[in-house]
Structure 1
Amino acid sequence: MSAELTISEQGQIADRYDAAVEKLVDDSVDVRRGAIYSMQSIMTDSPRMQPAVIDMLSKYVRDRATKTPVLVEKAPDIRAALYTLGNRDPSHDGKAVIDLGGVRLRKVDLNGVDLTSANLEKAVLSDGDLEKADLSGADLESAVLTGVRLTGADLTNSYVKRADLRGADLTGADLSGADLTETKLARANLTGTIWKCTNLSGANRPEGDLPDVTSSMAPDRSRSPGCDGTLP
């Protein structure tokens, strides 16, 4: 009886997921937002479905916010998708990775969310709020983060090569092991920033006050390097 019940429950979860996916293309933003919150509930009820939800919601945001910039505060469906992705239980991610590469989100609020190892390559998040966000191991290559609030953010072992951080607030951010090769840092607030083993080769800082912490090799994003490029 227990096995039959489990199979029945799994079938119900699958049906709920399929129904939610169908509603993601509805013309009504309220219906789409409801479908997204349904997916959030599905992740809670069935952690094994979380990788599928991550992939689907990542694609949803990319499809709607890549070609044309989206003002997030006026897009409740995008806001709901980002909240769901950022407030999941990462222990159930499996091999799934949040993929928001190339998105163009204006005034996005990702305060405190978990974007560990996320793909944000070439994403435009200007003037967004990522205070205390977990971006450890994230790919931010060529991302536009001008004016972004990253106070207290975790950027350890992240890949920020050629990103634009001009005017960003990095107060208290942890950039240990991060690769900031050729990153633009003009007018960025670097008060209390942690730089251990950070690669700053070619980083542009007209103010000229970058620390001399460039390691002999760029961080390997698959592991946590020590200052000599080896595991501590």
Structure 2
Amino acid sequence: MRGSWVALPAVAVAVAAVLGAGYEAGTTGGTTRWVWGGAASVGAAALVLWWLLVPATRWLSGERRPLTRAERAALTVPQRLEAVNQARSALMQSVTGLVVIVGVVFTAAGLVYTSKTLDVSRQGQDTDRYAKAVEELGSEKVEVRLGGIYALQRLADDSARDRATIVRVLAAYARTHAQDPAAGTDRTRLAIDTDAALTVGSGLASKGGSGYFDLTAIDLHHRALTFHALAFTQLAGANLADADLAGADLSGALMNNANLTRAALTGAHLGGAYLGSANLTGAYLAEADLSRAFLPGAKLTDAFLTRANLNGARLKDADLRRTDLTGADLRGADLTLEDAVRRGARVDR
């Protein structure tokens, strides 16, 4: 029996070979690897069955060593017939078990192959959808462009790996078409497709994994963007002069060097936004949330920050000449009332 137990390491090696071959076959999909994987599976299954039906069975039955030639010669005819029948039965069970195991292995391999084939097919469909949607963005008809934007939104929801690319495409579209004339006579409104690109793109970017919605240097002056959700958007160097951003969500937005001259930001959410060196001359920020906002070197001349929340804001070197800070919450800000007055701001005494 001692020699029979040597089969244990061989069984382990065979099983490891099956797993390795199956993995390689599933990874590369090569026919040769599938054949080797199948052969290894059959060999391992046969080895396991032999071990179970011969050494393990003898051990469990109390037989610690194989019968000698003299002991086998001493067997009676009925005993010999019974041994032959038992051997036949064991052989049939082995064959049946081997067929079942091989069938299970190849069924599993087939399922893996089918899954990978379907995945490749789905990726091809996603590529076709993406190409068609981008093509629609170049249409002369606004309804077709809208269809392309919402098709990209659906694709981004279905395919996480394409989301970052789609966000960049929508950002580029918004920057390019920001000053397109809107339908009708209202020149402050965004064109409907540009508005959709802003809304969809910023919404996808906010889901994470896509980076900032990059609207660097976009020209949105005089545009109405009330209650728009543009949180964590890249607006560095953007032209937002005279824009209506009342109630807009600009939390965490990067707006360094942005032009916000006379912009309407009543009740806007700018918590954690970065406004370094931004021009906010004459901007209306009444009741705006600027908690933990960074405004180093920002120009706030003649700006209105009445009842604004500046809790924890950073205003180092900000230009506060004639800035109205009446009723503003300056708790935790790096600005005292005395310092604000010394810089020329108007505050409650």
TM-score using structure 1 length: 0.76
Select the residue among 106, 110, 113 that pairs with 2:225: 110
- Which SS does the other structure have where 1:105 is aligned? coil
Whichever residue aligns with residue 38 of structure 1, its letter is A
Moved more, 1-10 or 48-57: 1-10
Residues of 1 paired with 2:119 and 2:149: CA distance? Answer: 24
Q: Which runs of 5+ in 2 are unaligned?
A: 1-110, 183-188, 336-349
Residues 186 and 205, structure 1, Cα contact 8 Å, conserved in 2: yes
The aligned runs of 1:77-226 (5 Å cut-off) are: 77-88=193-204, 90-91=206-207, 93-207=208-322, 209-210=324-325, 213-214=333-334
Alignment partner of 1:76 is 2:196: no
Structure 2: distance between partners of 1:10 and 1:49: 10
Higher Cα Rg: structure 1 or 2?
2
The residue number in structure 1 matching 2:165 is: 52
Go from structure 1 to structure 2 and tell me whether the alpha carbon gap of 1:188 and 1:130 turns closer, same or farther (over 3 Å shift): same
Deviations 1:10-33 (A, max 9, x none): 432332111111222234444323
How far, CA to CA, are the matches of 1:208 and 1:35 in structure 2?
45
- CA deviation string 1:32-89 (max 9, x = no partner): 2321122122233444432221111111222344xxx545626332122112123447
> Distance between the aligned counterparts of 1:147 and 1:47, measured in 2?
39
CA-atom RMSD, angstroms? Answer: 2.7
Deviation at residue 188 of structure 1 after TM alignment: 2.5
Q: CA deviation at 1:163?
A: 1.2
Q: Which has the bigger relative contact order, CA under 8 A and spacing at least 6?
A: 1
Q: Give the letter aligned to residue 119 of structure 1.
A: Q
Is the contact made by 2:304 and 2:323 (CA closer than 8 Å) also made in structure 1? no
Deviating more after overlay: 136-145 vs 170-179: 170-179
1:34 aligns to 2:169 (yes or no) = no
**Paired position in structure 1 for 2:131:** 18
Partner of 2:30: none
How far, CA to CA, are the matches of 2:248 and 2:303 in structure 1? 18
Looking at structure 1, the residues matched to 173 and 154 of structure 2 have their Cα atoms a distance apart, in angstroms, of: 17
Superposition deviation, residue 6 in structure 1: 5.0
2: CA distance between counterparts of 1:50 and 1:112? 24
**Matched residues in 2 for 1:90 and 1:146: separation?**
27
CA distance in 2, matches of 1:187, 1:208: 5
In structure 2, the CA distance between the partners of 1:57 and 1:193, relative to structure 1 (3 Å rule), is same
2: CA distance, partners of 1:111 / 1:174 = 15
Greater fraction of residues in helix: 2
Aligned mates of 1:108, 1:178 — CA distance in 2 = 24
Deviation for aligned residue 1:199: 1.8
Q: Deviations over 1:100-139 (max 9, x none)?
A: 1111113434333332321101101223232333322211
Residue type of the partner of 2:132? Answer: A
| CA drift at 1:209 | 4.8
Determine the C-alpha separation between the residues in 1 that align with 2:308 and 2:180: 30
Q: Which amino acid aligns with 1:75?
A: A
Using a 3 Å threshold, how does the CA distance of structure 1 residues 155 and 74 change in structure 2: closer, same or farther?
A: closer
Which letter maps to 1:79?
D
Tell me if structure 1 keeps the 8 A contact 2:255–2:275.
yes
How far the C-alpha of 1:208 sits from its partner, in A, is 5.0
> Which of residues 175, 179, 185 is equivalent to 1:62?
175
TM-score, normalised with respect to structure 2: 0.53
Unaligned 5+ runs, structure 1? 216-232
